Amino acid sequence: MPLLLEIKDLITAFDTAQGRLKAVDGVSLKIKSGETMGIVGESGCGKTMLALSIMRLIPANGRIINGEILFSGRDLLKISAEEMRAKRGSEISMIFQEPMTSLNPVFRVGEQIAEAIRLHQHLPAKKAMELSVEQLREVGISDPQKRAQDYPHNLSGGMRQRVMIAMAMSCYPKLLLADEPTTALDVTIQAQILDLISNLKQKNKMTVVLITHDLGVIAQAAQKVAVMYAGKIVESSAVEEIFANPLHPYTQGLLESIPARCGQSLERGGYLKTIPGSVPSLYNIAPGCRFYDRCSYADEECSGKEPPLEEINPSHFVSCWKYGAKKNN
């Protein structure tokens, strides 16, 4: 499969009163056409900023100061604002965590979907509205003709997220960025939405970047996964590999801290393993490994120099001195 998206050494920084903060700090990522890439990490690790950087929608005080984002071979950071606007919503779409705040409360949902179709496909209003109803049917909304006339507040959380997906899918994008699409939803609705995304992906031969903090969602819905920590990718591989053989101490810690992981029988009175401490502040990053003060394997070498992301096993990349460089010494 050819590459659809290649990110090279991307740095997205924010200039704030407390100084410069690199939310995304040297991320490189390759995503093949047709695959689902999961990006997992805790809050503040930069996963949303990575997605917004791809969309070139980072907040006003932020800037992409380094790197390339190659989409079908073209660098999105070099094209004009108009060109980028034409790509957004037609070739690259994004769905957000909170469907209530991302829909406009004063327009009917049908009109909101039709707007995207009108703008990108230059169709007359009536035709666009017909396609909009068709999209609502596609995402499993019953009685779409009638629902199209509803306002967002008439719909439940799951229905709103379906509307968001219908809007994102309306121009059949090549790439869908889904930022925590199910976090605000109940588990039963989450299962339905994940199913829907995977069906639409198959049907439209779409590529998906699925951003989540939930490793269970990754295991069920993604083929590849990248783990982010404090603005960097610390491990990436195929999904089966990372769950069977997690290499980075942070990934290992994350997996162990899930209660009742994999439905394993949990000993009564047993304790969960935890990662001590909390995520470091991005304002003053110390030299060396970012996971240094939370890591039980850390030694002197780790505090001095930042480990590079290296291929340890075929297609399994880890950024940790425990492997690779150190091993060869």
Q: Which two tokens stand for residue 329?
A: 């010494």
Please name the residues in contact with 35: beta carbons below 8 A apart, sequence gap of 6 or more: 1, 207, 208, 223, 224
What residues between 151 and 170 interact with another protein by CB under 8 A? 156-159
For residues 212 to 241, the per-residue mask of contacts with another protein, x marking binding by CB under 8 A and - elsewhere, is: -xxxxx-xxx-----------------xx-
Q: Which residue number, 275 or 289, has a Cβ lying nearer to another protein?
A: 275
10, amino acid identity: L
Task: Select from 243, 293, 301, 325 the one that contacts another protein (CB under 8 A).
Answer: 243
296, amino acid identity: S
Q: Tell me which residue of 168, 167, 178, 159 sits closest to 110, measured CA to CA.
A: 167
- 308 within 8 A of 322, measured Cβ to Cβ: no
What residues between 276 and 295 interact with another protein by CB under 8 A? 278-279
SS3 assignment, position 195:
helix
Backbone dihedral region for residue 257 (phi beyond 0: left; psi -120 to 50: alpha; all else: beta) = alpha
Give helix 157-169 / helix 109-121 axis angle, nearest 10°: 10
- How many other C-beta atoms can be found within 10 angstroms of the C-beta atom of residue 49? 24
Size of the site for another protein (CB under 8 A): 44
Measure the CA–CA gap between 278 and 251, rounded to whole angstroms.
Answer: 14
40, amino acid identity: V
Q: Nearest approach, Cβ of 67 to another protein (angstroms)?
A: 27
What residues between 24 and 63 interact with another protein by CB under 8 A? 42-43
Using rule CB under 8 A, residue 329 touches another protein: no
Task: Select from 1, 17, 106, 187 the one that contacts another protein (CB under 8 A).
Answer: 187
Q: Which residue number, 19 or 216, has a Cβ lying nearer to another protein?
A: 216
DSSP 224-273: EEEEEETTEEEEEEEHHHHHHS--SHHHHHHHHTSTTGGGPPPPTT----
Q: Nearest approach, Cβ of 181 to another protein (angstroms)?
A: 13
Measure the CA–CA gap between 136 and 163, rounded to whole angstroms.
Answer: 7
Q: Nearest approach, Cβ of 66 to another protein (angstroms)?
A: 28
Q: Nearest approach, Cβ of 243 to another protein (angstroms)?
A: 5
Region of 70-78, 111-119, 188-196, 298-306 interacting with another protein (CB under 8 A)? 188-196
Task: Select from 80, 263, 327, 328 the one that contacts another protein (CB under 8 A).
Answer: 263
Region of 12-20, 56-64, 253-261, 309-317 interacting with another protein (CB under 8 A)? 253-261
Q: Which residue number, 10 or 289, has a Cβ lying nearer to another protein?
A: 289
Q: Nearest approach, Cβ of 145 to another protein (angstroms)?
A: 20
Q: Which residues bind another protein (CB under 8 A)?
A: 42-43, 156-159, 186-192, 194-195, 213-217, 219-221, 239-240, 243, 253-255, 257-263, 266, 271-275, 278-279
